A and B are shown apart, each in its own frame.
Chain A
């Protein structure tokens, strides 16, 4: 197993466009997390899935953000009508129930022009 993967690694878009990111967790992990990290800051929690159920969403996740994990495997994070303030690194992590350690993907760096 090669760990958590994310696609794309970089995305440049114009303000107002929609973007979608994908995360493939470690195959046996049932928990999946999305975080956002801006320059010079630590990551901030966005949302959490256990299997296909989205169990928690941060207040940071406005109505323009939606995340899915349809079959309890890969997950997508969509941002609609992007704004310049959405520019950040979007990180995905996965873990197993009962194991607190999270394994992180390489991140998707979004730049909104």
Chain B
């Protein structure tokens, strides 16, 4: 069983839709990270959170420590949001990653 599970694996949305990507984890963590990866490999850190909620522009990340669950929301989605979104948990000195959610936003 993977320690970090993401859902859905693939998501196609129409421009303007509200998008939710979910992440569940089974290990004790120091923090949870949401990352964005574009074709070609580059990974950008979107959020790091250990409790509550964070917002940056159209992106919102929430975490429920008791339920070991986090969500990433994208409001008013745009084709430029198309990417792979990866959840990762801080575990000791390293990150443990989910497999990623492939998001495609169509115009």
Contact = CB atoms under 8 A, between A and B. Distances in A.
A45 B95 contact: yes
B76 interface: no
A93 B97 CA distance: 14
B80 to A, nearest CB: 19
Given A48-B94, A101-B48, A42 B42 contact: no
A107 B90 contact: no
Contacts of B90: 100
A65 interface: no
Contacts of B20: none
Contacts of A42: 4, 86, 88, 97-100
A79 interface: no
A107 B88 contact: no
B96 interface: yes
Interface residues of A, number: 25
Interface in A88-113: 89, 91, 93, 100-104, 106-107, 109
A44 B97 contact: yes
Contacts of A109: 41
Nearest to A58: B94
Nearest to B44: A104
Contacts of B64: none
Contact of B94 (A50, A56, A91): A56
Contacts of B57: none
A44 B43 CA distance: 14
10 contacts: A42-B88, A42-B97, A43-B88, A43-B95, A93-B43, A100-B30, A102-B95, A103-B45, A104-B43, A104-B44
Given A43-B88, A89-B41, 13 more contacts: A35-B95, A37-B41, A41-B100, A42-B86, A56-B94, A100-B33, A100-B90, A101-B33, A101-B48, A102-B33, A102-B45, A104-B44, A109-B41
